[in-house]
Amino acid sequence: AIGLAGTFDTALMRRVQSVIAREVRARGIPYVLSPVVDTVRDPRWGRIEETWGECPFLCAEMGVAAVEGLQGPGKFDRLADDKVFATLKHMTGHGQPDSGNNISPASIAERELRENFFPPFREVVRRTSVGAVMPSYNEIDGVPSHANVWLLGQVLRAEWGFDGIVASDRRWKKSLKL
């Protein structure tokens, strides 16, 4: 992803993601955990290669192109036979964890979230029919993203109008009894 970001070529991104969608769908899989639209602000973080870097605008444009390649352009009612549903990852602040440690809390003010971390997610939700959004593994202001009513309810659903799936790829230990 970071290499594709260096091209600044959204048409190439669409083509690459279209091939991925066609190959995945040929195997009978309709849903992928991609793309990663995290804005990266801490070079110590070990997942930079999965991202499109530090520029919120570039991350947003590449994110829109990736989703269009995976799912098809614009808003739609039905997924084409050679497309797959995309999942935006990881909402949000995942790319600026405390001390650069993966899944550490992210001490980021709301203004910083809205200016630098929300734009890629917001633009993809606004401009596409993205199928799912995955909350980040970290916590924001002491609240885990997966349980953050402000982040997922007020911002993602109410402000941006997202009506898709909120998904997780976290695995529970087999011994966990509910």
The pLDDT of residue 92 is: 86
Residue with tokens 């499109």: 52
What whole-number distance in Å separates Cα of residue 74 and Cα of residue 176?
A: 41
Tokens 């990881």 map to which residue? Answer: 90
CA dist 123 → 96, 102, 130, 161, 170 (Å) = 20, 25, 11, 12, 25
pLDDT mean over 146-156: 94
Q: Return the structure tokens found at 170.
A: 């976290």
With 80 as the cut, is the pLDDT of residue 123 above it? yes
- Going by C-alpha positions, the residue among 75, 141, 138, 86 that lies closest to residue 109 is 141
pLDDT at 106: 77
Q: Write down the pLDDT at residue 28.
A: 95
pLDDT at 19: 98
pLDDT tens, residue by residue, 21-73: 999 999 999 999 999 999 988 787 778 788 898 999 999 999 999 999 999 98
Catalytic residues: 169
Q: Which amino acid is at 85?
A: F
Give the helix ranges, DSSP H, for the chain: 2-5, 10-26, 56-71, 110-112, 118-127, 149
Q: b vs e for 17-50, b when ≥16 Cβ sit within 10 Å of the residue's Cβ? A: bbebbbebbeeeeebbebbbbbbbbbeebeebeb
pLDDT per residue as tens digits for the range 64-118: 999 999 999 877 778 899 999 999 999 987 767 666 667 667 788 899 999 999 9
pLDDT of residue 101: 64
